[in-house]
Structure 1
Amino acid sequence: MLVNADLALRAAVTPHQYQWIASPQPGVERVMLDRMGGEKGRATSIVRYAPDSWFPHHPHPGGEEILVLSGTFSEGDTHYPAGWYLRSPPGSCHQPSSAEGAVIFVKLRQMKQDESRPVRVDTRDVSRWTVRNGRECCPLFSDDIEHVSLERIPAGATVFGAQVEGAEMLVVEGSLREREQEYERGSWVRLPPGTYPDLVAGRFGACVYLKTGHLAIPVSLDGASC
């Protein structure tokens, strides 16, 4: 299966374009944002857990990245309310579930194979936030290639002040605007290298999951990182 699979092309999905598709597990649905391959392929998705839904214990040979958007997401006996960022490296295993229901942003098989450190960040913790380049930032992950953060962008401010070498965004709060196009809360946007002077925060500002650098990591046809 191929969905927005050419990483060199711009792609965007707004909430009114969501198409919820059942997963193999009852009570769990997802919106496919980009995908290369089937159930074990490289994928970016919005995933919705109904109350008392779960997945069997399973491994993630290519790693998994999660941002909890609403509800509470659980791994075994550990519970993560909205605002938690989870990054589990290649070779990790877990048994996910949600007693109350949850919506999460998920990226699968998009890590370097030598990544080994689990990451857990509570973005509600004010001590995690700093001011960088004139706006609030909560760093989530960074290595020699990839940089992930939450960014609070003031109303009308540009998202990128200079050329960017590819980026991926999820609007967590507020909205972004680009000329006549508005990207409201829940919108996902992937941008190829370029300059984007018209991409600005909406009238009430925006909080955005921002990821850069990763689009340069080559992938094989089965979605695994090369």
Structure 2
Amino acid sequence: MDNTLHTDFTQRIVVHSQQTPWLDSPMVGVKRRPLERYGQEIARATSIVQYAAGSQFSPHCHLGGEEFYVLEGVFQDEHGDYPAGSYIRNPPHSSHTPFSTRGCRIFVKLWQIPDHDQRTVTLTPSTYPLATEHHGITEHLLYHAAYETVSLQIWPADKHISMAAPNGLELLVLSGQLHSEQDTLQQGSWLRLPCGATFTAYSQAAKTTIWLKQHHLNRVEQEIVRLRSHIS
């Protein structure tokens, strides 16, 4: 696999993952659609990963942490079963042996959790924090710290929004459709905005659901330096 993909973090990036070919991982039955990547098999990466029914990954340690959202099916490891809609954060230096008996698809981010953040988060749709509503948008706050916020947002039809992203922003459309600048973002579309950008969008579908992460892209250089120190 190429060792760099969308590593210019000063640029606005859109990837329509449904149109991206699957790439084989080192494990049989596990495939990936890379969205951004710096590094080879050990990498700061954001990807869509698919486990075929009965597939598994060998035991491994996430030195830079792992964060994922289950898109379809049931993801599993020795710690539990995580159905669609689950949000998991495994802190740096955690380890597990992932598999999926029935198959699953996840949105996963590697080497993007600071070393000092040792919180493990396991949320399923039945254990989400209570939803709040702001200007017609329903939001479940999945994670909050001084250096990042992760949420699940549900937009009604014909909702327009414009907001500053001083420390960057990224989102994945889970269902429905958004229009942002010149792009139509549908299920599986991933958008990354650089620090200092403004996010403008409006929803067209009756209900559009997005995974949204904010305030985190000002530390990318530190993440890459940390990764290099581990692989050098």
- Shorter chain as normaliser: what TM range? over 0.9
Partner of 1:37: 39
The change in CA–CA distance for 1:111 and 1:220 in structure 2 (over 3 A counts) is closer
Give the drift of 1:220. Answer: 5.2
Alpha-carbon deviations, 1:80-121, whole Å to 9, x = none?
110100000001001100000000000000011101010011
Partner of 1:167: 169
Q: Structure 1: which amino acid aligns with 2:186?
A: E
Task: Report matched runs for 1:89-104 at 5 Å.
Answer: 89-104=91-106
Partner SS for 1:219? helix
Alpha-carbon deviations, 1:161-214, whole Å to 9, x = none?
3322211000011111135531111111101232233x2112323110000111
Task: Report matched runs for 1:167-206 at 5 Å.
Answer: 167-178=169-180, 181-192=183-194, 193-197=196-200, 199-206=201-208
Alpha-carbon deviations, 1:22-79, whole Å to 9, x = none?
0000000000000000111100000000000001111000000010000000012611
Task: Report matched runs for 1:1-226 at 5 Å.
Answer: 1-76=3-78, 78-125=80-127, 128-159=130-161, 161-165=162-166, 166-178=168-180, 181-192=183-194, 193-197=196-200, 199-217=201-219, 218-219=221-222, 221=224, 224=227
The change in CA–CA distance for 1:138 and 1:221 in structure 2 (over 3 A counts) is closer
Contact 1:75 1:96 in 2 (8 A): yes
Give the drift of 1:122. Answer: 1.3
The change in CA–CA distance for 1:88 and 1:221 in structure 2 (over 3 A counts) is closer
Give the drift of 1:16. Answer: 4.2
Q: How far, CA to CA, are the matches of 2:175 and 2:66 in structure 1? A: 23
- After TM superposition, the structure 1 stretch with the greater mean CA deviation from structure 2, 120-129 or 205-214, is 120-129
Partner SS for 1:216? helix
Q: Structure 1: which amino acid aligns with 2:34?
A: M
Q: How far, CA to CA, are the matches of 2:47 and 2:182 in structure 1? A: 26
Contact 1:44 1:106 in 2 (8 A): yes
Contact 1:41 1:222 in 2 (8 A): no
Structure 2 residues without counterparts, runs of 5 or longer: none
Contact 2:62 2:92 in 1 (8 A): yes
More helix by share: 2
Structure 1 residues without counterparts, runs of 5 or longer: none
Contact 1:172 1:209 in 2 (8 A): yes
RMSD: 1.9
Partner SS for 2:48? strand
Q: How far, CA to CA, are the matches of 2:44 and 2:68 in structure 1? A: 14
Q: TM-score with structure 1 length normalisation?
A: 0.92
Q: How far, CA to CA, are the matches of 2:164 and 2:6 in structure 1? A: 23
User: Would you say how many aligned residue pairs link Structure 1 and Structure 2?
Assistant: 224
Give the drift of 1:125. Answer: 4.6
Q: Which runs of 4+ in 1 moved over 6 A?
A: none
- After TM superposition, the structure 1 stretch with the greater mean CA deviation from structure 2, 130-139 or 210-219, is 130-139
Q: How far, CA to CA, are the matches of 1:126 and 1:188 in structure 2? A: 23
Q: How far, CA to CA, are the matches of 2:79 and 2:55 in structure 1? A: 14
Q: TM-score with structure 2 length normalisation?
A: 0.90
Give the drift of 1:126. Answer: 6.6
